Amino acid sequence: MDRQIRNTNMATWDDGSSLLGLGFSHSQRQDPPSNHKQKKQPIGETSADELMKHHLQQCLDYHQEMVSITSSGASTDTPRFVSETRGQQETTEKPHSQNEFADSRSAKNETPQNTADPVEEKAFDVQVPEDAIIKAKAIVQKFLLQTKNRDDMTPEECRSRRLHWFQKEQERYQKALLKNLEYVARKEERRLQHQLAQIQQAKQIETDMEKQHTFALEKRKQMFSNMTKAGIGSTKRQKLEDHKRRKGHSGQDSHAHETAAVYLSSLPRSIEEGTIRAMFESYGTIRNVRFYRHKETQELKGDGLLVYQIRKGASKSDLMELVCMQVSVWWRK
């Protein structure tokens, strides 16, 4: 029976090397065996891949042989290490799988059945589970699928792979498109916020300009009003303004004509009243023109007072603004 087990578990290749269990013997060749009928090496497959294929195929063949021996009614006391009878030398091989390491550790505590027989070696119980065979087949199948060349693929496999790749690309495209749309939406929102801020700023500037324009008009009116208070009769006019603020009216006779006086300065000493009337009569009715003289020499000082009569319904401030603006332009010329 031991001889039969040795012949069953020992495989001899064409080049003379022997395969014991899961590994190679320590005989002539140390390189992995190669079949005469070598298949065409697929594109992209390396020597490491070929070595892995051989190793996995050896594992699968070994487990199948062990299962066939067990099912044929052979003894379960199969020796774990098989000796190679070559040149009257017996060599032992070390275990190459995880299950063999576990069996060897458990076998250390067991006593050999027959230590006196020099031919018979230590025997161990070898039980190959079905899940180990299934896992080995799955590993080989997966490895073959990964290293399979595209030229050897069937049309259905090519179609399924193209469909899978297309679905992956569609998902990636949809994710990129959604991310791009989110970026564009955020950018558009920032642009609209910036545009809204510019509109609000323009409205604020317009409001400020309107306020500034109103303030400038009020200031100009106040300036023209202050100009009429200078010169002769300013005390009397100031009293009238104070009376208006207190009582609400001027305190004069309602039938009396309202007047407006314009103080003239830097006049030529040779100027005459007719010249003044000709210059300022176009703006309104001139009631009186008066020139100021020195008390001692009676010479003209160059100052004068021009009194206008305000028409009914006319505005005093408008008349004074018109006269003062024209005088300023005339003197600039």
Residue 265 maps to which CATH number?
3.30.70.330
Along the 333 residues of the chain, how does pLDDT read in single tens digits? 444 444 444 444 444 444 444 444 444 444 444 444 444 444 445 667 787 788 788 888 887 888 787 766 544 444 444 444 444 444 444 444 444 444 544 444 444 444 444 444 444 455 777 888 888 888 887 777 766 555 566 788 878 888 998 999 999 999 999 999 999 999 999 999 999 999 999 999 999 999 998 898 888 777 766 665 555 566 776 777 777 777 765 455 444 568 888 888 888 888 888 888 888 888 888 888 888 888 888 888 888 888 888 877 777 888 888 887 766 545 444
Clarify whether residues 114 and 163 are in a common domain. no
| Domain count for the chain | 3
- 6 and 146 in a single domain? The answer is yes
Q: In this predicted structure, what is the pLDDT of residue 26?
A: 43
- 136 with 167, same domain: the answer is no
C-alpha to C-alpha distance for 196 and 206, rounded to whole angstroms? 15
Q: What residues make up the domain containing 270? A: 256-332
Last residue in a domain, options 102, 137, 152: 152
3-state SS, residue 115: coil
Q: Is 235 inside a domain boundary?
A: no
What's the confidence (pLDDT) of residue 229?
54
Instruction: Point out which residues pair with 307 in neighbouring strands.
Output: 261, 288
Residue 246 counted as domain residue:
no
Q: What is the pLDDT of residue 192?
A: 94
- 146 lies in some domain: yes
Is residue 237 domain-resident? no
Are residues 42 and 119 located together in one domain of the fold? yes
* Whether 289 and 326 share a structural domain: yes
Same domain for 284 and 143? no
- Domain assignment present for residue 11? The answer is yes
Question: What does the pLDDT read at residue 126?
Answer: 59
Q: Do 31 and 129 fall within a single domain? A: yes
- Whether 148 and 160 map to the same domain: the answer is no
- Concatenate the DSSP letters of all residues of 62-76 into one string: HHHHHHHHHHTT--S
305 CB burial (10 A radius; 0-12, 13-18, 19+): middle
| Residue 290 shares a structural domain with residue 189 | no
* Residue 238 · residue 288 · CB < 8 Å: no
Question: Are 63 and 85 found together in one domain?
Answer: yes
Question: Can you give the length of the chain in residues?
Answer: 333
In a domain, 113, yes or no: yes
Contact criterion met (CB below 8 Å) for 299 and 293: yes
Boundary residue ending a domain (129, 152, 175): 152
Residue 245 resides in a domain: no
Residue ending a domain, choose from 132, 152, 172: 152
- Residue 167 CA to residue 147 CA, distance in Å, equals 23
C-alpha distances (whole Å) from 158 to each of 73, 150, 152, 165 are: 46, 8, 10, 10
| Residue 250 covered by a domain | no
Same domain? For 168 and 148 the reply is no
pLDDT for the residue 52: 79
Q: Are 115 and 10 part of one and the same domain?
A: yes
